[in-house]
Amino acid sequence: MFKRAKQSRVFQDVVEQIQDAILSKKLAPGTRLPAERDLKEMFNTSRGTLREALRVLEQKGLIEIKLGVTGGAIVKRIDTDPIMESLALLIRSGEVSLGHLSEFRIKIESSLVELATERASSDDIQEMERLLAKARQCFDNQDWETFLQTDEAMHTFIGTMTRNPVFQFVQKSIHENIHRYYRDYLPMNHERTLENLNDFEKIIAAMKAKDGAAASAIIADHVRRFHEKMTGKNP
Amino acid sequence: MFKRAKQSRVFQDVVEQIQDAILSKKLAPGTRLPAERDLKEMFNTSRGTLREALRVLEQKGLIEIKLGVTGGAIVKRIDTDPIMESLALLIRSGEVSLGHLSEFRIKIESSLVELATERASSDDIQEMERLLAKARQCFDNQDWETFLQTDEAMHTFIGTMTRNPVFQFVQKSIHENIHRYYRDYLPMNHERTLENLNDFEKIIAAMKAKDGAAASAIIADHVRRFHEKMTGKNP
DNA sequence: TTTTTTTTAATGGTTAAACCATTTAATTGC
DNA sequence: GCAATTAAATGGTTTAACCATTAAAAAAAA
């Protein structure tokens, strides 16, 4: 029913105070906290304990610590990096497999493309075309590493087009982690590259026509082919 | 192109060594690391620096630190708690709104229920019925707090039924964080409670019939009603 | 003997003071 | 003016001691 009341850990109290100040916008991103030697006085603690608190805040992605005379703890804008780092740990530990990830991707990515199509501005579509053109160039140059990067960028950008940060971070997490395997397990080849290019061309066309259902169907098929190859190779 | 080679931070090196040992299963969950005073000798560092490393590992969810004579750093089984903590930070900071979350939920939850229906064992369905019965009891007793808990447990359990940890953690994250708002903004009332009970009754029936499409349609409607009420009240 | 209480020892948590390494700004010398 | 040097502030690290918590061992009581 109840949890223990007080952890008897001073550094936790310091973490909570600074975290609350950041979350309540009392400390804006970019703000520099006082120097360790000053903070330790404010919190009436030792420097070691204060530093443990700063370490935790840094790991949470709330502050960034810089060296040198103008250095110190700077309040960061909260982003999805810590989530992605934790997800990467789950994957590295084997708790989550590539099969799990790509199964999830089949379900989520068609919904995501549909939403992106509804909300796409003409600028968004231009950006997609720019990325596709870049991917084509990589194909011509046989620069598969940059091709993979551009492929990831296209998927991530579709996430951005949803205007919903939840979709954005899910999409970014999934693709960042899938591409890690991708590079390791799948030697790039021309067929796959062409498949990808053709798929994206069709998706952009559907987006221009505001045909969410069509865009959704194309990406579903695109992802399913990928899933089958991956699970076929890594059962 | 390149990142700076060495951070000149000793504790980072300690973090990486221990993290790698855990991820490569050289240190199994439940293993107790040597005492701080021994570890500091092994890494040839000071206790303060070593403790900063342990703090980071603790925050990453890789170890748990206990007090007392049998205490110390114990290797944890990696789970989704750190991801959910980070997501909660994103939400608290305002980077993610309830509208964002529930829009995502509409898209994901029907896929999730469909998958759960495909994979449901008879034990799973029994557990769902047990949870529904508990929810009914809360309704009779007008115990809305426990009702909300049970509602969350049912949604989370549907995630478990997918047998896919990605769906599980997404479902758990979403609902844990939605219910936080739920409690704050929506005074519980009989209509909503009855709606929820009826929805779950239908979903369980569809699961028994292995009718994923039906189960999916019911949950989609269930979530959509919730989304409309929430976005209506929090525009 | 069994139970309760006390003691003990190992562990993490904290403090203090000093020194090292990095970085930028101020100073110096040309 | 410009380059080299110096100085100062900051985080990073070390050391040595003490405090607080916990569970096992020992002692006392029943």
Mutate which of B164, B166, B219 to test chain A, going by most A C-beta atoms within 10 A? B166
A202-220 mean pLDDT: 95
Which residues of chain A are within 8 Å of residue B18 when distances are taken between CB atoms? none
**What is residue B235's predicted lDDT score, i.e. its pLDDT?**
33
Contact assignment for B103 to A164 by CB distance below 8 Å: yes
pLDDT of residue A118: 96
- Tracing tokens 């400390």 back to the chain, one arrives at A27
> Is the sign of the CA dihedral A111, A80, B17, A180 positive or negative?
positive
Check residue A199 and give its pLDDT: 92
CA of A107 to C1' of C19 (A): 58
Type of residue at A133: A
Rounded CA gap, B101 and B175, in Å?
9
Each residue's pLDDT expressed in tens, for chain B with a length of 235 residues: 444 445 679 999 999 999 999 999 999 999 999 999 999 999 999 999 999 999 999 999 999 999 999 999 999 999 989 988 998 898 889 888 888 888 899 889 999 999 999 999 999 999 999 999 999 998 888 887 888 889 889 999 999 999 999 999 889 888 887 877 666 655 556 777 788 889 999 999 999 999 999 999 999 998 888 878 766 644 3
A81-233: which CATH number, 3.30.1330.10, 3.50.4.10, 1.20.120.530, 1.10.760.10? 1.20.120.530
Contact across the interface for A104 and B23, Cβ inside 8 Å? no
Helices B144-161 and B98-119: angle between axes, nearest 10 degrees: 60
The answer to whether A96 touches B166, Cβ cutoff 8 Å, is yes
Express each pLDDT in A152-199 by its tens digit.
899 999 999 999 999 998 898 888 878 776 666 555 567 777 887 899
Q: Is the CB of residue A21 inside 7 Å of nucleic acid strand D?
A: no
What confidence category does residue A1 fall into, taking pLDDT thresholds of 50, 70 and 90? very low
Domain range summary for chain B, segments of one domain joined by +: 10-75, 81-233
Q: Which residue's alpha carbon is at the shortest distance from the C1' of D10?
A: A69
> What is the structure's pLDDT at B233?
47
- D14 C1' closest Cα residue: B46
**How many residues are listed for chain A in this entry?**
235
* pLDDT at position A148: 84
Among all strands, which nt has the closest C1' to B66 (CA)? C12
Return the percentage of chain A with pLDDT > 70, whole number. Answer: 90
Q: State whether B170 and A167 contact (CB < 8 Å).
A: no
Answer for the pair B101, B178: CB distance below 8 angstroms, yes or no: yes
B185 at interface of A, judged by CB pairs closer than 8 A: no
Cβ neighbors of A77 (< 8 A, separation 6 or more) are: A29
Is some CB atom of chain B closer than 8 A to the CB atom of A26?
Answer: no
Decide if A108 and B112 are in contact by the 8 Å CB cutoff: no
Query: Which chain A residue's Cα is nearest to B52?
Result: A52
Size of interface A-B (CB pairs under 8 A): 113
pLDDT at A130 over 90: yes
- Does the structure show a pLDDT above 50 at A27? yes
Distance of CA A41 to CAs A54, A57, B52, Å? 15, 18, 20
Per-window interface: B 44-63 vs A, CB < 8 A: 48, 51-52, 55-56, 59-62
Backbone angles phi, psi at B95, to 5 degrees: -70, -25
Computed over every residue of chain A, the mean pLDDT equals 89
Instruction: Please state whether strand D lies within 7 Å of residue A3 at its CB atom.
Output: no
DSSP B81-143: HHHHHHHHHHHHTTSS-HHHHHHHHHHHHHHHHHHHHHH--HHHHHHHHHHHHHHHHHHHHT-
Query: How far is the alpha carbon of A167 from chain B, nearest alpha carbon, in Å?
Result: 7
Confidence bin at A16 (pLDDT 50/70/90): very high
- Strand B63-66, strand B72-75: pairing: antiparallel
> Which nucleotides of chain D does any protein CB come within 7 A of?
7-17, 20-24
The CATH code belonging to domain B10-75 is 1.10.10.10
